[in-house]
A and B are shown apart, each in its own frame.
Chain A
Amino acid sequence: MAELILEHIYKEFDKNVTAVSDFHLHIKDEEFIVFVGPSGCGKSTTLRMIAGLEEITSGSIYINGKRVNDVAPKDRDIAMVFQNYALYPHMTVYGNMAFGLKNRKFPKEEINRRVMNAARILGLEELLDRKPKALSGGQRQRVALGRAIVRDAQVFLMDEPLSNLDAKLRVQMRAEIAMLHQRLKTTTIYVTHDQTEAMTMATRLVVMKDGFIQQIGSPKEVYEHPENVFVGGFIGSPAMNFFEGIVHEGSFRIGDTRLSIPRSQMELLRGLGYIGKEAIIGIRPEHIEEAIVGTAGGNGSGTRSNVSIQVDVSELTGAETMVYSSLEGQKFVARLSAETAIRPGEHVNLAFVMDKVHFFDKETELRIRPVQKAAELVETS
Chain B
Amino acid sequence: MSKSLKQFIKYPILIVFSLIALYPIFLMFLSSVKPNLEILTSPLSFPKAFTLENYITVWEKVNFSSYVWNSVYVSALSIFFILFFSSLAAFYLSRYDFKWNAFILFFFMLGLMIPMKLAILPLYMMMLKLGLLNSLNSLIIVYIAGNVPFAVFVFYGFFRSLPKDLDQSARLDGCNEFQIYYKIILPLMRPSLAIVGIVNLIGVWNDFFYPLIFIHDDAKNTIPLGMLSLFGEYDTQWNLLFAGLSISSLPMIVAFLLASKQFIEGLTTGAVK
Contacts and interface: CB of A to CB of B under 8 A. Distances in A.
Interface stretch (B16-24, B45-53, B126-134, B165-173): B165-173
B270 interface: yes
Contact of A86 (B166, B175, B179, B267): B166
Interface string A55-94: 0000000000000000011100011101111111110000
Interface stretch (A96-104, A119-127, A237-245): A96-104
A232 interface: no
B172 A79 contact: yes
Contacts of A262: none
A86 B168 contact: yes
Interface residues of A, number: 30
B163 interface: yes
Contact of B163 (A86, A90, A132): A86
A100 B172 contact: yes
B273 A99 contact: no
Nearest to B269: A133
B250 interface: no
A84 B172 contact: no
Interface in A136-179: 137, 140, 147, 164
B272 A84 contact: yes
A140 B169 CA distance: 15
A84 B184 contact: no
Given A80-B169, A82-B168, A90-B187, A134 B270 contact: yes
Contacts of A103: 173-175, 179
A99 B269 CA distance: 19
B176 to A, nearest CB: 8
Contacts of B188: 89-90
Contacts of A99: 170, 173
A147 B175 CA distance: 15
Chain B contact-residue range equals: 20 to 34
B268 interface: yes
B271 interface: yes
Contacts of B270: 87, 89, 131-135, 140
A133 B174 CA distance: 24
Residue of B169, B171, B269 with most partner-chain A CB within 10 A: B169
Interface in B216-263: none
Given A73-B171, A74-B172, A74-B175, 14 more contacts: A51-B168, A53-B171, A84-B272, A85-B272, A86-B168, A88-B166, A89-B269, A90-B187, A99-B170, A99-B173, A100-B174, A132-B271, A133-B269, A137-B273
Interface of A: 51, 53, 72-74, 78-80, 82-90, 99-100, 103-104, 131-135, 137, 140, 147, 164
Nearest to B266: A133
Interface string B151-188: 00000000000010110111111110001000010011
Contacts of B179: 103
B273 A84 contact: yes
B172 A73 contact: yes
Contact of A83 (B165, B166, B184): B165
Residue of A84, A87, A89 with most partner-chain B CB within 10 A: A89
B271 A89 contact: yes
Contacts of A88: 166, 169-170, 184, 271
Contact of B169 (A82, A134, A135): A82
B35 to A, nearest CB: 52
Q: Which 8 A-B pairs have the closest CB atoms?
A: A133-B270, A84-B272, A103-B174, A100-B173, A86-B165, A132-B270, A89-B271, A86-B169
A133 B165 CA distance: 17
B174 A74 contact: yes
A133 B265 CA distance: 13
Nearest to B175: A103
Residue of B171, B269, B272 with most partner-chain A CB within 10 A: B272
9 contacts: A51-B168, A80-B172, A84-B273, A88-B166, A88-B271, A89-B271, A100-B174, A103-B174, A137-B273
